[in-house]
A and B are shown apart, each in its own frame.
Chain A
């Protein structure tokens, strides 16, 4: 194993631990988004409920909030597009390096 791969594996392990740890430490927490917390803070500071002056166009079109499942679908779509491009790029460069007769890489 090269030194680079070893470093990469250790770094990845840290990321995984940091992502899983919260579930153990903050057991039973809500894990809500910080945007909502931010909006609540707006109310708290103003001392009254803040009425957003603009609704997202999508919510206007749908006549309500985006259903949770559809929202996660769209988030997955976003992840998928990103991962697809990243994977294509890494695949392209790796293959080029492998098959190029005298690559400088």
Chain B
């Protein structure tokens, strides 16, 4: 081998070494076994009333608008399976629970979100069974509650429907991450600064990646609802989403 060939060989070996190092992209959720048992149980317990309320609401909604409900769930399925790169060189995915929260209320979104989290925890080792409670709280309770609240608030302030949906979905997504950071911080307070100090550090990890994703989630949610408005207006009226005749 000539010197150049040797160098070429060495370079290819080095590249292979770098590439072989497994890069598991477990985005966003708190990983399995990463939260002490007490916290796992506590967060799970907090979710229970929301779940109960959700099941009651969903029973009604399923009788009325099964397909629409399935579509809201499917939206969560799709966007939470897509890992999207961000400008800061990391990947994460969206939550998608904003749509369900806006259409069917936050409690319904809790149940739909839980279904997705269970699927990912069991089949994908993504998130986890022990951290299910905490992840459910952030993605399927806090996020949807915020999205729903922001949507109602924006509408009351007479903001346009599209703008309201965008803000609700985007901020709901962002809040999910803030809650995740807080959950991690509560379990792992920093030596200096305590819970708050460590919350800021966790937020520093999640927020830059999530900011652009939140915007994308907002846009996608608007798109889906635009599509639904154009072809499923009677259904949207029946679930109380479209109260008045469309004006935009």
Contacts and interface: CB of A to CB of B under 8 A. Distances in A.
Interface stretch (B7-15, B84-92, B144-152): B84-92
Contact of A7 (B26, B82, B120, B226): B226
Contact of B232 (A31, A66, A105): A105
Contacts of B189: 45
Interface string B67-85: 1101101111110111111
B89 A26 contact: yes
B43 interface: no
A64 to B, nearest CB: 11
Nearest to A59: B125
A34 B209 contact: yes
Given A33-B25, A38-B206, A56-B129, A93 B82 contact: no
Contacts of B91: 31-34
A71 interface: yes
Contact of B230 (A4, A66, A96): A4
B71 A89 contact: yes
Contact of A31 (B74, B81, B82, B85): B85
A83 B84 contact: no
Contacts of A41: 184, 201-202, 205
Interface string B87-116: 111111000000000000000000000000
A18 B116 CA distance: 25
A81 B126 CA distance: 18
Contacts of B130: 53-54
Interface residues of A, number: 66
Contacts of A33: 24-28, 83, 90-92
B121 interface: yes
B220 to A, nearest CB: 7
A75 B124 contact: yes
Interface string A21-45: 1110110011111111111011011
Interface in B50-76: 67-68, 70-71, 73-76
A105 B231 contact: yes
Given A32-B90, A34-B92, A54-B33, A85 B81 contact: no
B26 A79 contact: no
- Most chain B CB atoms below 10 A, which of A47, A83, A93: A93
B78 A82 contact: yes
- Most chain A CB atoms below 10 A, which of B29, B81, B162: B81
A57 interface: yes
B7 to A, nearest CB: 21
Given A34-B92, A45-B191, 11 more contacts: A23-B85, A31-B90, A34-B27, A34-B209, A35-B25, A44-B201, A56-B121, A56-B125, A58-B122, A83-B74, A105-B232
18 contacts: A11-B219, A14-B219, A18-B212, A26-B87, A30-B89, A36-B26, A37-B90, A37-B206, A41-B202, A54-B130, A55-B32, A55-B33, A56-B125, A57-B129, A59-B125, A68-B22, A79-B82, A81-B74
Interface of B: 22-34, 36-37, 67-68, 70-71, 73-78, 80-92, 119-126, 128-130, 162, 180, 184, 188-191, 198, 201-202, 205-206, 209-210, 212, 215-216, 219-220, 222-224, 226-228, 230-235
